[in-house]
Amino acid sequence: MPQHLKRLIGVFAVFIILFLILHYLLTPSSFGELGHYRAKAIPENAFKELHYAGSEQCSKCHEDIRKDKAIGFHAKLKCEVCHGPGLKHALYAGQFKAGQLPDSLLLYKPAERKDCAICHQFNAARLKIQFDTINTSMIHQINAIEHNPFDKITKVEFKCIECHNPHQP
Amino acid sequence: MEQHLQDLYEVLSKVDGYVYPNEIELNWSILIVLYPYITGLVAGAFILASLERIFKVHILKPTYGIALLTAFSFMLVATMPLISHLGKPFRAYEIMITPHSSSAMAIFGFVYLWYLMVVLLLEIWFDYRRDMIIWAQETTGVKRFLYRVLSLWTTDISPKAVALDNRIGYIVTVIGIPSAFLLHGYVGFIFGSIKANPWWSTVLMPVIFLFSAIVSGIALVMLIYILLTKVRKLKIDMECLDTIAKYLFYILIIDFVLEGLDQIHRIYEAEESFEVLHKLVFGKLFFTLFFMQGLFGTILPLLTLGTFQFYKPKEKIRKIIYLAISALILIGVFFMRWNVVIGGQLFSKSFYGYTSFKTGMIGSEGYLMAAVWLIVPFIILSFLLWLLPPWKKKEELPETQGL
């Protein structure tokens, strides 16, 4: 074989070996143990910090609100959908008296117009009309700009919750 | 009004009718238009080079080297639009480390690597090895060192060794043609195989992509060749240019017929998606499809090149027209990619609505980024033409000519 072909094959061999070495070094150690993915990804995700408590936890202390909510239109909404993740709150709020919760344990109270509009603002893509019947899984839409924006006399902006009880709209 | 609601209004003002929430924003933007475009230029330029080498159209000799180097410089950049489109570009290599056979993109990585390393690199190396050794003796300094490294410090330029180089180069080109078809057919396949999208999902897609790729590649080499002779103040080889134009004409016909066939098929079948596509074509795609791609990119070049087959105006005029035609075709094929990639995302898969597409100038997905990836290959090409000028190649010995 001529000298230049040998060199060329040598260069290619170096490239291939380099690729194999990189392949070996870069493949995650637990890859392929359980399937075409990193087996360690499962415990990694399992040990991630928890943020949500679940509505059952909330009703332990806020049974009144759960009862209110259960008969209203928002019955199917979980508390943390509106109030945000509340695990810390659920674990530690019990140690404080009413009105004395430290800031770090306070939850968000979605009282602004925009908060309700996240779900109720008119959006053609979210219409769901089933056989013309009222279905509680279908979100009623309003145009937040036109739907009772402010008091006609005082011209002060209305909040949605001034007319609708958020827990029992 | 609340900022939040205003944002929502702005988003919703982009859509007409019923659109699923994940269809409002186009996820495949201008960079994904560039990716099939650039890969297509590679495949096309290579096919032109192989016309000279395999099909022995020796009139095309002046463009052989240019075509190869063009293919190579664009190939180096072909994946860059994809990578800069990624949210985490530095993890792009993972696709090659743990590829899955069901991932079309992972397999593309290997098709790409095969084409770059085994076809283009080898063909150029075997083609230039003898010259690099000779040039290394004639030059000094950095350039000499580069030639030495690139020729792997080999010195054998005996007729026997050169003949062997030629034979291997020939074999590589023979393998290269199906590889070029594979490379670009594959890009078409990636779109054509998305069965949820009626604008993309057709078995003709790989073939259409392939032929428009060849058209664009040939047009690019033609453009570069004309500009290059202008810059070097040489007389252009008109016979060569006419031959390129002839092939361009033939392949443009095939491309036009295939694309027409695809559309006629759609119109005649008139599936449930037809109405939404019909409105798309006559609405949001009207300008880019009928004017940019159809009239300027296809019909006009087709008529001009067709006329030239019977009647040839004076060389000077012909040259200018060739320049204009190749530019038009390049723009036309770009908009063909645009119409496929962007068009396929403009309508809702519910068939009841449309969204619209806006891209800014800046940002990792803006027009500037796209422009960068279109300019970089030309910079690489200028460097390659400086380092490996095809016109400075020493004439080969007669007995080794064309194996």
Examine the fold and report which residue of A89, A108, A127 is the final residue of a domain before the chain moves on.
A108
Answer yes or no: do A79 and A40 share one domain.
no
Angle between helices B104-113 and B159-192 (to 10 degrees): 160
Cβ atoms of B120 and B75 within 8 Å: the answer is yes
The token duo for A62 is: 């806020």
The token duo for A138 is: 């279908």
Answer yes or no: do A42 and A73 share one domain.
no
Q: What is the ipTM of this complex?
A: 0.80
Q: Which range has the worst mean pLDDT, A26-40, A117-131, B148-162?
A: A117-131
Answer yes or no: do A93 and A119 share one domain.
no
> Which residues of chain A approach chain B closer than 8 Å at the C-beta?
2-5, 7-8, 11-12, 15, 22-23, 26-28, 31, 36, 112-114, 117-118, 121-127, 144-145
- Give every CB contact of residue A90 below 8 A, 6+ residues apart in sequence: A53, A57, A58, A60, A61
Q: Which range has the worst mean pLDDT, A128-132, B94-98, B125-129, B170-174?
A: A128-132
Give per-residue pLDDT as tens, A113-153: 888 988 888 776 666 555 455 444 467 888 888 888 888 88
Name the residue among A147, A125, A146, A129 with its Cα closest to residue A138. Answer: A129
Q: Quick check: B132 pLDDT over 70?
A: yes
Residue of A nearest to B163 (CA): A2
Q: Quick check: B402 pLDDT over 60?
A: no
Q: Could you give the number of structural domains in chain A? A: 3
Between chains, do B97 and A26 touch, taking CB under 8 Å as contact? yes
Question: Which CA distances in Å does B152 have to A2, A169, B169?
Answer: 13, 79, 17
Answer yes or no: do A18 and A55 share one domain.
no
Residue of B nearest to A115 (CA): B4
The DSSP call for residue B136 is: H
Mean pLDDT across A13-39: 93
Answer yes or no: do A119 and A169 share one domain.
yes
Give per-residue pLDDT as tens, B237-252: 999 999 999 999 999 9
SS (H, E, C) B289-336: HHHHHHHHHHHHHHHHHHHHHHCCCCHHHHHHHHHHHHHHHHHHHHHH
The CA distance from A40 to the nearest CA of chain B, in Å, is: 15
Question: For residue A40, what are the domain limits?
Answer: 3-46
Q: Given B5, B17, B21, which is nearest A121 (Cβ)? A: B5
Cβ atoms of A70 and A62 within 8 Å: the answer is no
Answer yes or no: do A17 and A41 share one domain.
yes
**pTM of the prediction?**
0.78
Cβ atoms of B339 and B285 within 8 Å: the answer is yes
Give per-residue pLDDT as tens, B280-334: 999 999 999 999 999 999 999 999 999 999 988 999 999 999 999 999 999 999 9
The token duo for B323 is: 């320049």
Residue-level pLDDT at B399: 45
> Which residues of chain B approach chain A closer than 8 Å at the C-beta?
1-2, 4-5, 8, 12, 15, 17-21, 24, 93-94, 97-98, 100, 117, 125, 129, 151-154, 156, 160-161, 164-165, 168, 353
Q: Quick check: A12 pLDDT over 90?
A: yes
Residue-level pLDDT at A124: 65
Answer yes or no: do A7 and A30 share one domain.
yes
Q: For chain B, give the mean pLDDT.
A: 90
Answer yes or no: do A100 and A63 share one domain.
yes
Answer yes or no: do A117 and A152 share one domain.
yes
% of chain B with per-residue pLDDT over 90: 65
Q: For chain A, give the mean pLDDT.
A: 87
Q: Quick check: B21 pLDDT over 50?
A: yes
